[in-house]
Structure 1
């Protein structure tokens, strides 16, 4: 840093009122976000946010994530699935992580980031594929793996042109009931 004013500012503590922190002091980003989860300017209208610490039971998490996917909000669906992933212990933790990664892959496609979309769709499909033989919670693991793999292949070969809304709204469950 060659600017003496910048050096002085760097030594000053940050104003805690300017940072988004929860009561425990952990960083939280309270800025509004667009439908793809990108931060907007403070005070700008954004889409409703999923609380960062949301943890729902599996059936409810799947219902809410599907509602968000159907509404064209894969970033928010990712937040719901990530909450389930972080709250799950044991082997199913990998399943929830993979589902969250699939939603992030869809988010990257929505944001027009082909490389990110392909990478996360493939990674998510790889994580959930071991659950295809005995899928828990009515999750359509085989269908999701097929959808993610085909979508990643299409994006790899043809780019993001020609993607439809249906491409970004896979069905999480074999049936709508629990």
Structure 2
């Protein structure tokens, strides 16, 4: 039995082209899904926060995580852990919305720990996000509605 060829981007790198739902779960080829976030987009911190907030408010934390991932990979080294922590909060909410309470809680706590010592850069509400993540992690008992549980990112 021959394996199907892997999806590749224009540069030949592996890239899963399957459509995805709003929580980033792969759908069968041919189904319509949610448009994926383009990768490698350079945004200002304000643009990153605005786009991530829009996606969180729409109940699409997986896609917000991808926006934060771009910032973490392209930003200054001194801010890597901040953007990485915010990405972990978004993917933690993704797992919680998918019903993976153990993984969701773990990622929410890890993200909260990662950002806790930052002094509200770019008006990010670090204390509020840390409290939100820890409270949500402590109370997870089943799937949550991602849109209604979305945090406010800024003060």
TM-score (norm 1): 0.82
**Which 5+ residue runs of structure 2 have no aligned equivalent?**
none
Determine the C-alpha separation between the residues in 2 that align with 1:84 and 1:28. Answer: 20
| Structure 1 gaps, min length 5 | 1-5
The residue number in structure 1 matching 2:127 is 142
Structure showing greater radius of gyration is 1
* 2:142 matches 1:160: yes
Please point out which of 68, 89, 99 is paired with 1:112.
Answer: 99
Give yes or no for contact 1:55–1:80 (8 Å, CA) kept in 2. Answer: no
Maintained 8 Å contact 1:74/1:168: no
The match for 1:3 is none
* Residue 164 to residue 47, structure 1, CA distance change in 2 (3 Å): closer
Listed one character per residue, the Cα deviations across residues 135-176 of structure 1 (whole Å, up to 9, x for unaligned) are 111100000000001111112xxx126x455652100001xx
TM-score computed with the length of structure 2 as normaliser: 0.93
1:86 lines up with 2:67 in the alignment: no
8 Å CA contact retained: 1:104, 1:120: yes
Q: Deviations over 1:42-94 (max 9, x none)?
A: 11010111012233211001000000000000000000011101112222110
What do the CA deviations read for 1:117-150 (whole angstroms, capped 9, x no partner)?
100000000000011xx21111000000000011
Q: Relative contact order (alpha carbons < 8 A, sep ≥ 6): 1 or 2 greater?
A: 2
